[in-house]
Amino acid sequence: MSRETTSRRRLLAGVLVAATTGATVSKPVNSAPVAATEVDATLHKIVYQLNKSDEAYQEAIFNSISAMLTKYVDDVAIAVVVWGPGIHLLAKKPKRPVPKLFQERVKSMAESYGIKFIACGNTMHTLGWTAEDMVEFAKIEDVGAAAIMELQERGYAYLAW
């Protein structure tokens, strides 16, 4: 039996148990790798790649996320995997200029709408950054590209600009 089939069966069994016992399933916060541990029961799932520091590029991604939230409201799981020059968006003290408005918008998306922002550990390592250098809501994965792949394996549509 494939790992995907096993994972689906475990998910369905967990949902069935939760439904019949009245239990709730909660998502871990900033714990083990997000791609391997969290379950998104929503119908619609999308992962964005954000790997540039260009303001117009980032604004386009923010606007797309806002449109997805407007269209699907509570029935959409959104993740944004950030690496390369885009990583400065998730840094407490970016080494490149990041508009304050963008920092506030990302924080609001994470805290108010549950958008997952995932920072690439490889990019952080290259910059000499650790988890302490990143905003609190950022989840850190060792390899950003692997996080995208694992989210796709879990049913997320991949959107790159």
């840094």: which residue's tokens?
A: 91
In whole angstroms, give the CA distance from residue 25 to residue 19: 10
Contact 129, 91 (CB under 8 A): yes
The b-or-e profile of 21-42 (16+ CB within 10 A means b, else e) is: eeeeeeeeeeeebbbeebebee
Q: Taking 50 as the threshold, does the pLDDT of residue 111 lie above it?
A: yes
Predicted TM-score of the model (pTM) = 0.75
Burial degree of 58 (CB within 10 A; 0-12, 13-18, 19+)? buried
Helix, strand or coil, per DSSP, at residue 102 = helix
Enclosing domain of residue 120? 3-160
Tally of domains within the chain = 1
Query: Given pLDDT bands bounded at 50, 70 and 90, which one contains residue 21?
Result: very low
Q: What is the CATH number of the domain that holds 71?
A: 3.40.1260.10
Q: Taking 70 as the threshold, does the pLDDT of residue 107 lie above it?
A: yes
| The two three-digit tokens of residue 104, written as one number | 């506030």
Q: What angle do CA 89, 116, 138 make, to 5 degrees?
A: 50
Count of Cβ atoms closer than 10 Å to residue 9 Cβ:
11
- Please state the rounded mean pLDDT for residues 129-150: 98
Which pLDDT value is given to residue 29? 37
Please give, one letter per residue, the 3-state secondary structure of 99-131.
CHHHHHHHHHHHHHHCCEEEEEHHHHHHHCCCH
- What residue type is 89 in one-letter code? L
User: Comparing 29-33, 75-79, 104-108, 142-146, which segment has the lowest mean pLDDT?
Assistant: 29-33
